[in-house]
Amino acid sequence: MAAAAMVEAGRVEENLATLMGDLGTCFARVEPRRQAGKYVRGLIADLPRKNCWTLAEHAGDPTPDRTQRLLERAVWDTDKAMGVVRDFAVARLADPDGDNTLIFDESGVEKTGTGTCGVTRQYVGCAGKVTNAVNLVNATYATRAGHALVGSRLWIPAADLDDDARRAATGVPADTEFATKPRLATDLLTETLDAGVPVRWCTADAVYGRDRRLRDTCETRGIGYSLGVPCPFRITLPGWKTKIRADTAAATLTTDTAWQTMSCGPGSKGDRWYAWAWIATAGPRHYLLVRRSLADPDDLAYFYCWIPERLPATLTALVRVTGRRWTIEEDHGFGKDHFGFDQFLQPPPHPDHAAHRAGHGRARRLRGHRRRRRGRDHATTPTHPPQRTTTGRPRTRPADRGRDQTVVQPRDQSLAQPRTPSPLVLVAPPPSSPRPLVPLPIQTHMIKSRSTAALLGQEDHQFESAYLIDFPGQPQQHTRTEGIA
């Protein structure tokens, strides 16, 4: 096991060196490139809290100024850096003959203030309620070899873009227009395909499945999709001229032969087993996929699917692609647990910068930076938050050891004079007693506090069929078709 850990650590160092070497072309100067390397190493380190202070301490910097300058004012090509990270992941995950899938979903982060770009009251899945938060539309690239986040966009409310003062305060460029979350996902898809990334499938939840523009883009680019849709979503059945709701179409699947039980992939508690059925529609190679819970037959989910001509139309393929939507949830959780994805304080003003600022916290604002610049003539050494040891005593930084300490004198010189201790005053005489007073025993030893470590004891292919629904009074073309419906 130790040898395996050493091999894995060596592989991490090799991949990190390769990635930072590719990112070197995004910087005009060597200083921000070196600091970016320290920043990335801090993000992948096992730190309990990841902000500019902790990242600077991990990198060995005396203050967080260098990290803050990298994230706030340093000049580097952010768009190019995002492309480098995406290409780095795709080169290690892409399967030329596999079902390379692009998954879209949003991730919210709660905020307490109102000065952050994109903050507004909205529903946040991680909190399970409507709260003050920002939302990022992310893209995950998933294959049989693994999965990773390869793109991100910051969603900005229309009210922030209509307010010129708000736009100027948050630094949003004047040419930025309002874009819905499905529109941001469409832009990510187009950008990924234009970069030459091999993508065969696309999947997302009902927020994106209702958007016709996203579906049309997939069909135009030859990308199959399985997109979640709500129950009121309307489809047209073969031979019909009117549309019906998705739940109305699913209600006709009353026979057991219409459903097939299969797993859509592993989850956090093992394989995820559901009952599946697919219904052919009037559109060529368009299907309505229905998922039913085994524990609760009334719990149904609907997916609108399209399969390109070059791919076989099978239920197994649709179930496998639909199940891959879980991978983006894993990426969100992994990013929050290991890279501080939810610990940033001030997101970037421009949507294209979201992926590279997600791990950074406590970035100072320009106003506060100017105040500190004006006060540097009086305080040459930046303040540092006090650190406490396990015994409660302030911890001395290595940089301060051996340094001359300057005594701060009060303005009122009278307060600097040593005070003469006041004499003890006998409040009342002791009561008379026939017995002599016995003095208390003098303590000859002291009780030493034990450290936390001592207290804790650390010292000592399946049968597939597509169904064409037969409604009363309507022409029935088929009752069951094998393979391609």
- 16 pLDDT band, cuts 50/70/90, is confident
- 6 pLDDT band, cuts 50/70/90, is low
pLDDT of amino acid 435: 53
Instruction: For residues 49 and 128, give the distance between their C-alpha atoms in angstroms, rounded to a whole number.
Output: 23
The mean-pLDDT minimum among 68-82, 201-215, 218-232, 292-306 falls in 68-82
Residue 26 reports pLDDT greater than 50: yes
Residue type, 107: S
pLDDT of amino acid 1: 52
User: Which residue's entry shows tokens 């060529």?
Assistant: 284
Residue 169 reports pLDDT greater than 60: yes
CB 281 within 8 A of CB 237: yes
% of the chain exceeding 70 in pLDDT: 69
Residue 326 reports pLDDT greater than 80: yes
pLDDT in tens, 108-152: 888 877 878 888 888 887 777 888 888 899 999 999 999 999 999
Higher pLDDT, 273 or 440: 273
The mean-pLDDT minimum among 2-11, 179-188, 233-242, 292-301 falls in 2-11
Q: What is the pTM of this model?
A: 0.71
Instruction: Determine the length of the chain.
Output: 485
pLDDT in tens, 39-51: 988 888 888 888 8
CB 300 within 8 A of CB 310: no
pLDDT of amino acid 240: 86
pLDDT in tens, 455-475: 333 333 443 445 554 444 444
pLDDT in tens, 269-295: 889 999 999 999 998 899 999 999 999
pLDDT in tens, 397-411: 444 444 443 444 444
% of the chain exceeding 90 in pLDDT: 42
pLDDT, average across residues 150-156: 92
Residue 135 CB coordination number (10 Å): 23
CB 193 within 8 A of CB 92: no
pLDDT of amino acid 432: 53
Q: What's the half-sphere exposure (Cβ side, CA atoms, 13 Å) at 119?
A: 20
Instruction: For residues 292 and 38, give the distance between their C-alpha atoms in angstroms, rounded to a whole number.
Output: 48
- 325 pLDDT band, cuts 50/70/90, is very high
Q: Which residues contact 95 (CB under 8 A, 6 or more apart)?
A: 143, 144, 145
- 88 pLDDT band, cuts 50/70/90, is very high
Residue 421 reports pLDDT greater than 80: no
Residue 213 reports pLDDT greater than 90: yes
User: Which residue's entry shows tokens 């030493």?
Assistant: 448
Higher pLDDT, 237 or 478: 237
Q: What share of the chain is helix, strand, coil (3-state, %, to 5)?
A: 35, 20, 45
CB 104 within 8 A of CB 94: no
Instruction: For residues 267 and 134, give the distance between their C-alpha atoms in angstroms, rounded to a whole number.
Output: 27
pLDDT of amino acid 222: 95
The Cα-based distances of 421 to 341, 418, 424, 427 in angstroms read 57, 9, 9, 18
pLDDT, average across residues 307-329: 93
User: Which residue's entry shows tokens 């300058």?
Assistant: 69
Instruction: For residues 139 and 152, give the distance between their C-alpha atoms in angstroms, rounded to a whole number.
Output: 6
CB 297 within 8 A of CB 290: no
The Cα-based distances of 292 to 64, 271, 353 in angstroms read 52, 15, 39
Residue 358 reports pLDDT greater than 50: no
pLDDT, average across residues 146-172: 90
Instruction: For residues 225 and 101, give the distance between their C-alpha atoms in angstroms, rounded to a whole number.
Output: 9
